[in-house]
Amino acid sequence: MLRLPSHNQRFHLLLRNLSSFASKTTIFMTSKHFLPSPLLPQTLSPKHFSTPSKRLLPSFPSKPIPKNQSLSLRTNGFYSLPSPSVSSPSPDVEDQPSDTRSLQILNYKLKQLGIDITECVAGRENRLMCPSCNGGKSGELSLSLFINLHGYSASWLCFRAKCGWKGYKKAAADGKPSIENLGRVNKVKFKRQITVESLQLEPLCNQLTAYFAERMISSETLKRNAIMQKRSGNKIAIAFTYWRKGELVNCKYRDLAKRFWQEKNTEKILYGLDDIADASDIIIVEGEMDKLAMEEAGFRNCVSVPAGAPPSVSKKEVPAEEQDTKYRYLWNCKEYFKKASRIILATDGDLPGQALAEELARRLGRERCWRVKWPKKNDVGHFKDANEVRMYLGPSVLKDIIDNAELYPIRGLFNFSSFFDEIDQYYHQNVVYEFGGDTTYQSSGEKR
């Protein structure tokens, strides 16, 4: 339930008077899961790393949120839930103190939207599962929620590029002030200093090493990239460690259901950043597994973006560096691209992957960007990414694809090969209007 900082003791006295408006909401996961592997123990979900907290609201059972809750799609790519019709709270709420009544009403309204404040802290950022997108396929805790210290209002924003659901709710009880700035959401005042020891990371066990071996990732590659694991009881998660100049900056976790989550309040950088120091050619891929696949094909000068791809290319101009929050990881690593003369964008072949390539090119400079074309898988589809190509076609094919990358398109700039057919038709006089016309002059300076 909603937790308060330790100095706010008055709220703890209100615990005994709260009613059944607080309840735990069931969030349904819609992501597609891998089939369980007999080689691996039960996987670890993000909630197993959460710490215990003081509770403000008692827990009572409530109806779960429908899995097929309707969503509306705006033109700017943000999803939003339709405004619910909130029924009036029960009469006993009127007998509660004003702060308690505000908190109850706010909690009730948020539950209508699918937001559960069970483990939230008032007065600072909270990370939850977004009810609009359910964290996507990775099931990440992407919803950033800020609750007024007295429970008068709440504002939220989903930081998944494919969702972006945001909103604001106020309790509006007894006319209390309830205006909060949405900009306070996700405002991190400090970056955590983390180490392998503080995160309790371990070397990969034999089961996880076998898991990577099935995907043709060698032990040498795993060791060089410091792939580790994190345990909680008999559950386990793969840990992709993010390093910069030999210092651990961030850590991203993945379970075998392909759910991802990262350490909170850490700096966002590219995965494998130290591998492109002073590199003139740089390859950018969309996931950590693609980065490992590139290394197996002989390319160590490769990095991966830390987050997913956007659903489409933004129609707006590229924002200023301090406002470009979705691509903060690029700005945090800009010094590594100063010497790069060729940047190969090997993102996924789907529409979001193409949109990511465009957004990267807009920021890195189209004139030094190249792109790859993934080969056909069958008559109707193509291979999706570097890891899929390497697994099904082999590292040599992946190497050929990178070696044959083409210039990234620039508006108004064309390859000479684009005009071969037109020039050939003109040469053979196959097009009548290309034969030329009479100028009415017999020779220079003389008119007929």
DSSP string, 58-73: --EE-PPPPTT---EE
The whole-angstrom distance between residue 399's C-alpha and the CA centroid of its chain comes to 27
**pLDDT for 360:** 97
CATH of domain 274-435: 3.40.1360.10
Query: Tokens 């990262």, residue?
Result: 262
**pLDDT for 122:** 84
Query: Tokens 């600072």, residue?
Result: 124
Q: SS3 breakdown of the chain: % helix, strand, coil, rounded to 5?
A: 30, 20, 50
Nearest 5°: phi and psi at 367?
A: -65, -20
How many degrees, rounded to 5, is the angle at CA 119 between CA 117 and CA 124? 80
**pLDDT for 316:** 92
Residue 383 three-state SS: coil
**pLDDT for 435:** 56
**pLDDT for 196:** 96
Neighbours of 222 (CB within 10 A): 19
**pLDDT for 180:** 43
Question: In which residue ranges of the chain is CATH 2.20.25 found?
Answer: 190-267
How many whole angstroms separate alpha carbon 322 and alpha carbon 331? 9
For residue 8, the cross-strand partners are none
**Is residue 307 within 8 Å of 164, Cβ to Cβ?**
no
Q: Which residues of the chain have pLDDT under 50?
A: 1-43, 45-56, 58-96, 173-189
**pLDDT for 138:** 82
Instruction: Write the burial class of residue 146 (CB in 10 Å: 0-12 exposed, 13-18 middle, 19+ buried).
Output: buried
Question: In which residue ranges of the chain is CATH 3.40.1360.10 found?
Answer: 274-435
Closest C-alpha among 393, 281, 214 to residue 222: 214
Residue type, 78: F
H/E stretch holding 104: helix 98-112
Q: Give the architecture-level CATH label for domain 190-267.
A: Single Sheet (2.20)
**pLDDT for 414:** 62
**pLDDT for 10:** 43
Query: Tokens 């795993």, residue?
Result: 222
pTM: 0.57
